Amino acid sequence: MTAAALTISRDFTIGDVPRRLFGSFVEHMGRCVYTGIYEPGHPSADAEGFRRDVLDLVAEMGPTVVRYPGGNFVSGYNWEDGVGPVDQRPRRLDGAWHTVETNAFGLHEFARWSKLAGTEIMEAVNLGTRGVEAARELVEYANHPGGTRLSDLRRANGAADPFGIKLWCLGNELDGPWQIGHKTPAEYGRLAQEAAKAMKLVDPDIELIAVGSSNFHMPTFGEWEYTVLNHAYNEIDYVSMHAYYQEHDGDAESFLAVAVDMDAFIDSVASTIDAVKARGKHKKDVHISFDEWNVWYQRGLDTDDQPHRVSTAWREHPPLIEDTYNVTDAVVVGTLLNSLLRHGDRVRIANQAQLVNVIAPIRTEPGGPAWRQSTFWPFARMAELARGRILRVATRSDRIDTAEYGDADLVDASATWNEETGRLALFVANRGLDADADVTLALQGFDVKRVTRAEVLAVPEGGDRFSANNSGRPDAVGLRPLGGIVHDGSLVTLRLPALSWSVVEFEVV
């Protein structure tokens, strides 16, 4: 039996829960857009071709902001191709994913979909093959009320009101040799600075995200952030981070501890931001946008130049990286969400990549059903219940020994307190593959009146850690009631099944 002791104090908080922490990502890649969120002729499709079955699942999942249109795709994308009458839009070759882009879906369609989904738009501009002028013009087209060529063109294309997009990504992964328009840190830093200045001259209220490192292990990591920030600190508001994780060679213990790597990655970027702020004697803060993260099984990929091996045939929206997620993956996603929440004072935006079909919590079949993957559940519950203030969780836990990250806590937790509703939410994972975990929760400054929610995702009866959902068994893995919780004033005890992620919400005074 594993044991852990958690201590939470009303007086020790990290900051307010950033609602943009629960973001997602829609890229023109594979079937994320076409036969994902958009499929004219589908039985559930509305008059605009949006799949209502997917919209219903998106509403249940609760993403607050969605990044669009890429990703690698954006570094070769002309935004003008996706506006105007659909039958007049050009078909293009997308070099990033070796596909044919029809441009049947573009900015106007995404803006209307986003409004139906209740999500904020996070728009990326092409700083790979294009630059300052195209970025400036896109802001004018999207956000200026009218009376200029571009804003009047938007109105003529059916959007009388501006889209009012506040969040803008200054390119994507331009530190990576695989990226169209790959740049050195100095080249990108100057381009980001000038693009940011031009974009804010059009709309001074926008918030800008500079490209950070594509992962913690890039050869330019650290140097990239330091150089870019030294160029563009005054003009930007966030620097991005990207990270994907997978299980290697059956090493489940290391996989279950990957949030240790995410913790270290965030801390390193935060330290670099602080160093540049001090060196430049800057007054304002630059925050982190962790705008791509997830579990991704990068099987057989050529990592020297291209992280993505693609088909030699040019096709419209072929299936790409449609990973099926199991119980282990869901527990890992829960711990990654814990890491992001624990760093909510520095990470103000995060986007799980992607929303539908492409390494996604939601899957669809063309012309057929949509269903939730196992990873849907930790995201949905945290997006719903993580509100108010982020509480510091002091953890004393038995340890798990890993080949990649040394020893790590077997029990991983984060927590929030919503003073308005009097609810305290605990999000907790048991990384142990075989043993249940007895957890003692000591509250300081809180007394528990009652448990209002207690759910666990674990290995289903008759299943194993590789159990997963599919179109025929969409509910094989999900949340079930977590029983056996005992509370007496400020002391709570609970037992977590082996390999599980749980959410417990308390009404406290």
pLDDT in tens, 104-152: 999 999 999 999 999 999 999 999 999 999 999 999 999 999 999 999 9
Q: Is residue 483 part of a domain?
A: yes
- Indicate the burial class of 378 (C-beta count within 10 angstroms; 0-12, 13-18, 19 or more): buried
Q: Is residue 15 part of a domain?
A: no
Residue bearing tokens 């997006």: 383
Residue 123: active-site member: no
**Tokens of residue 68, six digits:** 């669009």
Q: What is the DSSP letter of 421?
A: T
Cα–Cα nearest to 429, from 258, 296, 298, 239: 258
pLDDT digits (tens, 9 = 90+) for 15-65: 999 999 999 999 999 999 999 999 999 999 999 999 999 999 999 999 999
Question: Does 182 lie in the same domain as 299?
Answer: yes
Q: Is residue 156 part of a domain?
A: yes
Question: Does 458 lie in the same domain as 317?
Answer: no
Average pLDDT over residues 192-196: 98
Of 385, 414, 436, the position where a domain reaches its end is 385
Say if residue 470's pLDDT is above 60: yes
Of 332, 351, 385, the position where a domain reaches its end is 385
Quick check: 23 and 66 in contact, CB under 8 A?
Answer: yes
Say if residue 303's pLDDT is above 50: no
Q: β-strand 406-409 against 437-444: which pairing, if any? A: unpaired
Mean residue pLDDT of the chain comes to: 96
Question: Does 407 lie in the same domain as 309?
Answer: no
Which element (helix H / strand E) includes 294?
Answer: strand 287-295
Average pLDDT over residues 458-486: 97
Which element (helix H / strand E) includes 464?
Answer: none
Average pLDDT over residues 478-490: 98
Say if residue 5's pLDDT is above 70: yes
pLDDT of residue 311: 61
Domain containing residue 168: CATH number: 3.20.20.80
User: Can you give the three-state secondary structure of 222-290, one letter per residue?
Assistant: CHHHHHHHHHHCCCCCEEEEEEEECCCCCCHHHHHCHHHHHHHHHHHHHHHHHHHHHHHCCCCCCEEEE
Q: Is residue 379 part of a domain?
A: yes
Question: Does 394 lie in the same domain as 319?
Answer: no
Cis peptide leading into 354, omega within 30 of 0? Answer: yes
Beta bridge partners of 293: 243, 352
pLDDT of residue 306: 44
Q: β-strand 370-372 against 347-353: which pairing, if any? A: unpaired
Residue 173: active-site member: yes
Question: Does 394 lie in the same domain as 318?
Answer: no
Average pLDDT over residues 462-488: 97
* Annotated catalytic residue within 137, 173, 207, 505: 173
Say if residue 102's pLDDT is above 80: yes
Say if residue 304's pLDDT is above 90: no
Which one-letter amino acid corresponds to residue 250? Answer: G
Say if residue 267's pLDDT is above 50: yes
Q: What is the pTM of this model?
A: 0.97
Say if residue 433's pLDDT is above 90: yes
Q: Is residue 171 part of a domain?
A: yes
pLDDT digits (tens, 9 = 90+) for 319-338: 999 999 999 999 999 999 99
Question: Does 295 lie in the same domain as 178?
Answer: yes
Total domains present in the chain = 2
Q: β-strand 491-496 against 437-444: which pairing, if any? A: antiparallel
pLDDT of residue 1: 82
- Which CB contacts under 8 angstroms, 24+ apart, belong to 401-408? 401/253, 402/251, 402/253, 402/254, 402/256, 402/257, 403/251, 403/253, 403/254, 404/251, 404/254, 404/257, 404/258, 404/261, 405/254, 405/257, 405/258, 405/260, 405/261, 406/260, 408/257, 408/260
* Annotated catalytic residue within 109, 225, 292, 505: 292
Q: Which domain holds residue 500?
A: 2-10+389-508
pLDDT of residue 307: 44
Question: Does 268 lie in the same domain as 161?
Answer: yes
Average pLDDT over residues 250-263: 98
Angle at which helices 223-232 and 258-280 pack, to 10 degrees?
40
Q: Distances from the Cα of 157 to the Cαs of 33, 83, 133, 164, 449, in angstroms? A: 21, 7, 21, 16, 56
pLDDT of residue 301: 46
> Reduced to 3 states, what is the DSSP secondary structure of residue 438?
strand
Domain containing residue 494: CATH number: 2.60.40.1180
pLDDT digits (tens, 9 = 90+) for 215-239: 999 999 999 999 999 999 999 999 9
Q: How far apart are CA 8 and CA 16, in angstroms?
A: 16
Of 337, 363, 385, the position where a domain reaches its end is 385
Q: What is the DSSP letter of 212?
A: -
Question: Does 374 lie in the same domain as 404?
Answer: no
Q: Is residue 136 part of a domain?
A: yes
Question: Count of CB atoms within 10 A of residue 164's CB?
Answer: 14
Question: Does 285 lie in the same domain as 203?
Answer: yes
**Tokens of residue 388, six digits:** 């108010």
Q: How far is CA 475 from the centre of its chain?
A: 23
pLDDT of residue 310: 59
Which one-letter amino acid corresponds to residue 450? Answer: R
Question: Does 167 lie in the same domain as 187?
Answer: yes
pLDDT of residue 261: 98
Quick check: 507 and 450 in contact, CB under 8 A?
Answer: yes
Q: How far apart are CA 390 and CA 83, in angstroms?
A: 41
Question: Count of CB atoms within 10 A of residue 47's CB?
Answer: 6
DSSP per-residue letters across 73-93: GGGG--GGGGSS-GGGSPPEE
Say if residue 292's pLDDT is above 50: yes
State the Cα torsion 37-41-42-43 to the nearest 10°.
140
Sign of CA dihedral 341, 390, 209, 115: positive
Question: Does 423 lie in the same domain as 379?
Answer: no
Question: Does 276 lie in the same domain as 130?
Answer: yes
Cα–Cα nearest to 339, from 432, 267, 436, 239: 267
